[in-house]
Structure 1
Amino acid sequence: MMKNAFALSLLASSLLFGCSEPVSNVKIDKQAEVDKFADSAKIEFELVSNVPSDKCDSARTDGNCFHGRLHITPAADYAADDLHIYFSQINPVQSVASEHFTIEHINGDLHRLQTKADFNGLQAGQTYTIDYWVDFWTLSETDALPNYIAHLDGTEARVIVSTQTQIDAETGLERYPFVKSFADETTQFKRTKDDATQWATAERLYQRNEKLSASDHQLATALIPTPSQVIVSTGSIDLQQGIKLNVTGVDKTQLAMAIKRLQQLGISESDSGVELNLTLDASLAIANEGYQLKSSEQGIAIAASSIGGLFYGVQSIAGLVDVTKLTMPHVNIDDAPHYGFRGMMVDVARNFHSKQFVLDLIEQMAAYKLNKLHLHLGDDEGWRLEINDLPELTDIGSKRCFDLTEQRCLLPQLGAGVDPTSVVNGYYSREDYIEILQYADQHQIQVIPSLDMPGHSRSSIVAMKARYKRLMAEGDEQAAKQYLLHDENDTTVYSSIQYYNDNTINACMESSYAFVAKVMDEVKALHAEAGQPLTRYHIGADETAGAWVESPICQAFLANNDEGITKAEQLGGYFVERVAKILSERGIETAGWSDGMSHTRFEKMPSFAQANSWGLTYWQGHQVAHKLANNGWDLVVSSPDVTYFDFPYEADPKEHGYYWASRHSNTEKLFQFMPDNLPVHAEFWLDRQDLPYQTDDTLQKDEQGKVVSGPLKAGVRFAGIQGQLWSENTRNDDLAEYKIFPRLFALAERAWHSPEWAVAYDYNGATFDQNSGRFSAEKRQQRDQLWANFADTIANKELAKLELADIFYRLPTPGAKVVDGQLHMNSPYPGLTMQYRYNEQWQQWTAPVAIDSDVEVRLLSVNGDRAGRKLLVKVPKG
């Protein structure tokens, strides 16, 4: 019996040409089949529906699941007797309905689509459809991760070309040509039947923009972040001839990077330039990092009691400058930061980002007076820092490719493909990291490294397994076990939040702590060599799965230890305590995410600790933040629904980003944030389904009288605020910048400046909802007016500076509608060029224009070199 149509065609050829070799003896070149399929097959992902059906497993995810569909159309006959396609799917597949294929969850997001036993090959031009059901929902087209991989045993794996992303020539953004566009607001856009989120269409954006206030400030005197006090005088200074620098009390080189930014904007040092007098005097009654700036006809003078203050004073000159005129106003500024900790976290572990990206980010952080760079260097999908004597960490742990044994690289999670040299892979050499540290130091920025553990540690676990195998083969058992991170006899079945079953360092093995100590010693040495001592390290410690239960080593430890640890669920906190001790012994302060830090015993921790609170505002996230701050720890506000820059700016399936906490988190929302008063946001924000919610900040006790939650103790304040860019689906540097900017402007504003409209925190505790009335109409009007001024400053002053620095910022999507046959447009950022495409040509919009068919609309960058994402505007029928 013929195996498939391709074999039948071979038989016909042999009969026609008199070939005597039997078809059964014809050998299929499997590599050629894989190559041909990968190069020519078309694969399309289609979201059928997010609405749960009887196909959903009611025992999982509360019965929520989505219906996906893959269409596979080969361009040529496929003759091999089986086919494996590996692909990344964020959530696990529950079930499959297909005549020819099955889907198996491998680990993490990696799945394998495989032909069934009775597979008879694929015919050219025929479309094969696979229906399947997956946990939860998919709300964004960017959820469909790229680079599906074709593979057969004994062949080299190949990326299926049709599943690769492309770069859009107009926007510079990634396109997903293999994803069928979402179209239905009910079945494809909504999370559940109660979801009230609205698609950010051009028409809805128009309505929203119509409600925005017009700016009422003087753009020339606008400065981001807003100073504490500013007095404006008449007149301005012309800086076209540059500046003549006079420095007192400080080495000029310590301010070199602030002066460099002035040069980047077109203001150079010159003997004929405007006098710029910089004075550092520790005896001045000026707050740390604060400064006094005065500009007048006599020139510019800046005084500060710290290097940081003087540095920020120079940055304020750059902030005041209009780059089109190179002028700045006459002002008197007395300024100091609201928070001492003003941070930005960048995840370079999930997908790597280049050294140049980090250096560019450092420049912009400093320009807007942010001072902490939390560099997330290690996670499940990658280890990004070279460590002496542990080459496997980067030889294997820094790369994802196709090696199911993981002896050359990690599994191809997150749509990494097969190329170990692609941009999603890589690491910082010791020299790279030292350069980053020194560059940060020159910009008044402290680098806080993080190599997440004990969860989120798969890259290091796999690397140390490979090290163990290598050294055992060399006959050195003692060295092989020195830094081992897993118990090979642990049979615990668990799944992390990202669906890994093997990503947690064993908390009961002394070799785990030997590994931590070794890494800390090496990182500390790098900081010392760079001249920026390692004074704080971020453990991570978040989302530790239920590991260790069946580990014989942990069972023995739980049965016999003098640490007071008797239950497996205590081991996560114990690990953090042990690592904190290792850090303290080296003079390093401990930082970690709030969930892991909450599991520790306070008396076992150092007197100082930093906790990043990532509780959601609408899920009572303030309660953990208050508890940890009341412990006396430095609490850094990191609320995901407003400070996570990996989330979409707007609720649109074509917007990049994850959305587990927020469907839309734009710059205005972050501007509205009152980080000193987390529960108050229930008065005007909505939850992740755009539904109202209530927060309770009153004292709560359990039946035994133990305090469960409650308000901050009198006088307790948070240490600061941090923005976060996680990089699961951020695969290049441009997209990383797109997600960070312009949101970073609002982050800097909230970190540096506490506005008058902010509602003071009530230390007595209170409940909040949309009727509690603490945020008065007067305060709302004041906030909205200042946002209008802020947006005007971004659009007409700061974006041009980002362009001079070659920063790939996001352009907003415009609002537009058709009324009586005329196209109306507006923009959340006034002054940006608006365009519409009519009769195939892009044209500038300045006033209502007559149209008689659907059009596309977009905004242009300040320099006109790049367009924002376009939206379709439909002409009303009838």
Structure 2
Amino acid sequence: MYKRIILLLVTTVGFAAVTQAQDLNPNLGIIPAPVSVRKTSGSFVLSQETAFLADSVNNKAVVFFADYLKNTAMLHIPVKHNSGQTVNNSIVLTSAGTDGLPAEGYRLTITPTNVTIAAKGAGMFYGIQTLIQLIPANKGATAKLPCVQIEDYPRFGYRGLMLDVCRHFFTAEFVKKYIDLMAAYKFNTFHWHLTDDQGWRIEIKKYPKLTQIGSHRPATLIGNYHDRTPQQFDDTPVDGYYTQDEIRDIIKYAADRYITIVPEIEMPGHAMAALASYPELGCEPGSGYQVQSTWGVFKNVYCPSEKTFAFLEDVLTEVIDLFPSKYIHIGGDEAPKDAWKESEFCQKLIKKLKLKDEHGLQSYFIQRIEKFVNSKGRSIIGWDEILEGGLAPNATVMSWRGEQGGIEAARQNHNVIMTPGSGGMYLDALQGKLSTEPLSIGGYTPLDKTYRYDPTPEALTPDQKKYILGVQGNLWTEYIATENKVEYMLLPRMFAVSEVAWTQLANKDFKDFSEVRLPNHLAWLDKKGFDYRVPTAIGAKDSVGFGSTLTVNLKTSVTGAKVYYTIDGYTPRETDIEYNLPKTYSVPTDQYRELQTIVITPTGKRSVVTKTVIYNKAPLPPVQFSGTTPGLRYELIPGEYNSTNDFKMSADGADSLIAKSFNINQFRKGGGFAIIYNGYVRIDNDGVYGFATSSDDGSTLLIDNQLVVDNDGRHPINAKSGAIALQKGYHKFTLKYFNIGTTGSLRAFITIPGKPTGELGSDLLFN
């Protein structure tokens, strides 16, 4: 008897069902999860007769909540001064009772007669956000709030989200909408990426050409960077910048929600928009600099001349006058040294300053800018490349190329903000399979990867971990041209980032987050008209299994949404059967059953379709093999291909080379190529084995000549998986891969029954 595959499907409709489920929910549906939640009996009835008392009626958190009650909850309750006397049927916002609370903390107490938030400063605002989440979204004239005692405070002091407005421009009103979402989920820092190669988006009065020229590009690349050879462009101009008055208004809007805005002015790289505006700032002023219409890293950077430093100091002076934030982000990433190596001026400067090389020149550049920023009473943040050549004395490092830069900076006693793409903090990456997602930069960052990230690496000592100030999610917009797509890429992963930043590590629970709390928050997004990625039905996933029955028992991922299914091989839609009750299907011997599911929300948004295939067939028997040489034989095939079907092994046995890994970097020197790995994989026990590849471009994996993983076609880095039932012994293994363009990668994985997925290495591969 083979493993029985069990799926879960139960739909929940209406808020009442959610409220009942919350009785078993330790966090009462709150995102991010609080430090401590202690439920008590009874409920508080919020109504028009409820009194609203505050220590200070002009406090901005109090003003925010009064506005919420009036305009969202439709309760016109005037704010009155809190005299300290007990008033029944009241909401009280007070600084009394805050002894021992950490910074930004609050105590929320709900009894049958009163609601009290005890907090100071930002903590009051965060207590209000928690209270708002407990008020039913579909309340009538009254609303029942559960009685509870909550004590809460953040894990990290820096809780950030970044928005890139350079690659594509977004209106001031949309930026405010972005800030509103951040405030609702207890973020306190908005990193505003304002200058880059593809656009300068901030008005600088002393240098008007920055917006007259630098804020405009004539066209944008069509498709992904990899899609077309040669690249094609859309002939559609992209314009836009923020006036200083608009920026002041947004800064105040954010401050009223306890959010600090950190502006980023890129240097010394990502400077093409500035160089197009003022060519004399480059090392080759006559080279025809242009605002870029494509993506990537460009070799032209600021020349470290006195003219450049004067320009940057003028720009930063206006930026600092606008933004009250402690930090000014100066970029520092992806700054090629080609122009400096070829510049006579730069080479003379390196000798004059007795620097080791161009990396030392970048360090000189950053340190000089830091001294100026420090002279204005501010501090710099830079991407982890500012470590190159020596770190500026007071700089904070934002670690994006994995965690190593942050680890190195913390070991040097520098403050660190963790934001690694490898940790799920790059929200422009794919949320699902490449074929089901909109155009993106590539990579794979599903919700659970973002949620499970811990910003404090084990490589650091407890004292070194104190330098980790916090964490940030980044949303780069090369492939995000519309506001709807910003929301789709941001949501729901933003909720996961909020819990990484706020919630104590011991209180994090992905199952509770994704299955109990998230559905209600997604229903709120749906009702409010946000675009977001609808998760697939809880318990449903693309998979291949083996067994004699298929039991279907799922749960909707969005409160109020419906789940539809098919078993006929056709894509499910609302015309198909709505699944409400568990159902079991038999799988005849040597046949299969295919279940496809989709979630459709009340506003018509759809999840991607999941496909579960169950085979009732015996595991593949082993093949005859007695070799003991670790690794696989491979053949390298030059040329450019579109599919793994376009090439095959040569007839003369050219696969005489042996590889012990799938590292293809050594082959990426002579243009496009393909490679075929052949050999045997050792299976130690009967069972269902999972295999996967992650590749840029296409790859396919076959076991005993049966296709298990189909990751074919030209594409940026993408992962796909499959499964197959195997008997103990050796099985023929074939992996085919091709690469075009300047990037490329290949990794292979195996999931052994009862063990976590791991890289497939030479310990299991033989020839």
TM band (smaller chain) = 0.5 to 0.7
Q: Could you say which residue in structure 1 is the equivalent of 2:308?
A: 512
Query: More strand per residue: 1 or 2?
Result: 2
User: CA 1:500–1:541 in structure 2 vs 1: closer, same or farther (change >3 Å)?
Assistant: closer
- Equivalent residue in structure 1 for 2:260, among 440, 443, 446: 446
Q: Could you say which residue in structure 2 is the equivalent of 1:457?
A: 271
CA distance in 1, matches of 2:189, 2:232: 31
CA deviation vs aligned residue, 1:707-752 (integer Å, no higher than 9, x gap): xxx7564663411111111111111111111111111111111111
1:799 aligns with 2:522: yes
Q: CA deviation at 1:414?
A: 9.4
Q: CA deviation at 1:566?
A: 4.2
Q: Percent identity?
A: 26
- Equivalent residue in structure 2 for 1:276, among 87, 91, 106: 91
CA deviation vs aligned residue, 1:276-334 (integer Å, no higher than 9, x gap): 11113698442221111111122211111x32011111111012223234432111112
Q: Does the 8 Å contact 2:6/2:552 carry over to 1? A: no
Q: Does the 8 Å contact 1:453/1:505 carry over to 2? A: yes
1:841 aligns with 2:575: yes
Counterpart code for 1:448: V
CA distance in 1, matches of 2:7, 2:452: 16
Q: Could you say which residue in structure 2 is the equivalent of 1:66?
A: none
Q: What aligned pairs does 1:403-442 form with structure 2 within 5 A after superposition? A: 417-420=234-237, 425-442=239-256
Q: What aligned pairs does 1:725-740 form with structure 2 within 5 A after superposition? A: 725-740=475-490
CA distance in 2, matches of 1:611, 1:207: 46
Q: What aligned pairs does 1:522-561 form with structure 2 within 5 A after superposition? A: 522-527=318-323, 533-547=324-338, 548-561=340-353
1:669 aligns with 2:669: no
Q: Does the 8 Å contact 2:98/2:107 carry over to 1? A: no
- Equivalent residue in structure 1 for 2:29, among 206, 222, 233: 222
Q: Does the 8 Å contact 1:414/1:729 carry over to 2? A: no
Counterpart code for 1:569: H
- Equivalent residue in structure 2 for 1:338, among 133, 139, 155: 155
Q: Does the 8 Å contact 1:377/1:384 carry over to 2? A: yes
Q: Could you say which residue in structure 1 is the equivalent of 2:122?
A: 308
CA deviation vs aligned residue, 1:368-406 (integer Å, no higher than 9, x gap): 1110000111111111111113222222222221599xx
Q: CA deviation at 1:601?
A: 3.1
1:397 aligns with 2:214: yes
Q: Does the 8 Å contact 1:245/1:277 carry over to 2? A: yes
Q: Could you say which residue in structure 2 is the equivalent of 1:601?
A: 390
Q: Could you say which residue in structure 2 is the equivalent of 1:632?
A: 413
User: CA 1:856–1:827 in structure 2 vs 1: closer, same or farther (change >3 Å)?
Assistant: same
CA distance in 2, matches of 1:633, 1:455: 23
For structure 1, which segment, 444-453 or 357-366, has the greater mean C-alpha deviation from structure 2 after superposition? 357-366
Q: CA deviation at 1:254?
A: 4.4
CA distance in 1, matches of 2:152, 2:216: 46
Q: Could you say which residue in structure 2 is the equivalent of 1:25?
A: none
Q: What aligned pairs does 1:46-61 form with structure 2 within 5 A after superposition? A: none
CA deviation vs aligned residue, 1:678-724 (integer Å, no higher than 9, x gap): 35xxxxxxxxxxxxxxxxx4xxxxxxxxxxxx756466341111111
CA distance in 1, matches of 2:71, 2:598: 29
Q: CA deviation at 1:580?
A: 0.8
Q: Could you say which residue in structure 1 is the equivalent of 2:597?
A: 857
CA distance in 1, matches of 2:117, 2:176: 26
CA distance in 1, matches of 2:307, 2:298: 21
Counterpart code for 1:611: V
CA deviation vs aligned residue, 1:501-560 (integer Å, no higher than 9, x gap): 4441112x1111112111111112223xxxxx2421101101111231111211221232
Counterpart code for 1:739: M
CA distance in 2, matches of 1:572, 1:223: 45
Q: Does the 8 Å contact 2:164/2:194 carry over to 1? A: yes
Q: Could you say which residue in structure 1 is the equivalent of 2:536?
A: 813
Q: Does the 8 Å contact 1:230/1:332 carry over to 2? A: yes
Q: Could you say which residue in structure 2 is the equivalent of 1:247?
A: 54
1:829 aligns with 2:615: no
Q: CA deviation at 1:269?
A: 3.5
> Matched residue of 1:727: which SS?
coil
CA distance in 2, matches of 1:234, 1:387: 58
Q: Does the 8 Å contact 1:626/1:711 carry over to 2? A: no
CA distance in 2, matches of 1:313, 1:840: 40
> Matched residue of 1:459: which SS?
helix
Counterpart code for 1:802: L
> Matched residue of 1:792: which SS?
helix
CA deviation vs aligned residue, 1:598-639 (integer Å, no higher than 9, x gap): 12534xx34x332111232xxxx3x43222113222211112
> Matched residue of 1:333: which SS?
strand
| TM-score when normalising by structure 1 | 0.58
- Equivalent residue in structure 1 for 2:164, among 322, 325, 347: 347
User: CA 1:801–1:517 in structure 2 vs 1: closer, same or farther (change >3 Å)?
Assistant: same
Q: Does the 8 Å contact 1:302/1:313 carry over to 2? A: yes
Q: CA deviation at 1:250?
A: 5.8
Counterpart code for 1:588: R
CA distance in 1, matches of 2:217, 2:114: 56
User: CA 1:795–1:855 in structure 2 vs 1: closer, same or farther (change >3 Å)?
Assistant: same
CA-atom RMSD, angstroms?
3.7
User: CA 1:264–1:633 in structure 2 vs 1: closer, same or farther (change >3 Å)?
Assistant: farther
- Equivalent residue in structure 1 for 2:181, among 364, 368, 371: 364
Q: Does the 8 Å contact 1:856/1:872 carry over to 2? A: yes
Q: CA deviation at 1:428?
A: 1.5
CA deviation vs aligned residue, 1:328-349 (integer Å, no higher than 9, x gap): 2111112111111011111111
Counterpart code for 2:29: A
Q: Could you say which residue in structure 2 is the equivalent of 1:778?
A: none
Q: Could you say which residue in structure 2 is the equivalent of 1:292?
A: 107
Counterpart code for 1:726: W
Q: CA deviation at 1:799?
A: 1.7
> Matched residue of 1:448: which SS?
strand
- Equivalent residue in structure 2 for 1:610, among 396, 402, 412: 396
1:238 aligns with 2:39: no
CA distance in 2, matches of 1:787, 1:806: 26
For structure 1, which segment, 793-802 or 727-736, has the greater mean C-alpha deviation from structure 2 after superposition? 793-802
User: CA 1:262–1:649 in structure 2 vs 1: closer, same or farther (change >3 Å)?
Assistant: farther
CA distance in 2, matches of 1:555, 1:749: 48
CA distance in 2, matches of 1:452, 1:584: 17
CA deviation vs aligned residue, 1:248-274 (integer Å, no higher than 9, x gap): 046244433344445565253426995
1:321 aligns with 2:135: yes
Q: Does the 8 Å contact 2:440/2:480 carry over to 1? A: no
Counterpart code for 2:28: T
Q: Does the 8 Å contact 1:835/1:843 carry over to 2? A: yes
Q: Does the 8 Å contact 1:275/1:300 carry over to 2? A: yes
> Matched residue of 1:230: which SS?
strand
Query: More helix per residue: 1 or 2?
Result: 1
Q: Could you say which residue in structure 2 is the equivalent of 1:646?
A: 428
**Count of residues in correspondence between the two structures:** 562
User: CA 1:286–1:838 in structure 2 vs 1: closer, same or farther (change >3 Å)?
Assistant: closer
Q: Could you say which residue in structure 1 is the equivalent of 2:607?
A: 868
User: CA 1:756–1:502 in structure 2 vs 1: closer, same or farther (change >3 Å)?
Assistant: closer
Q: Does the 8 Å contact 1:541/1:595 carry over to 2? A: yes
Q: CA deviation at 1:586?
A: 1.4
Q: Could you say which residue in structure 2 is the equivalent of 1:88?
A: none
CA distance in 2, matches of 1:874, 1:715: 46
Q: Does the 8 Å contact 1:348/1:384 carry over to 2? A: yes
CA deviation vs aligned residue, 1:558-588 (integer Å, no higher than 9, x gap): 2323xx3242232211111111112112112
CA distance in 2, matches of 1:357, 1:674: 30
CA deviation vs aligned residue, 1:751-792 (integer Å, no higher than 9, x gap): 1111327xxxxxxxxxxxxxxxxxxxxxxxxx6xx3222123
CA distance in 2, matches of 1:839, 1:636: 44
User: CA 1:243–1:542 in structure 2 vs 1: closer, same or farther (change >3 Å)?
Assistant: farther
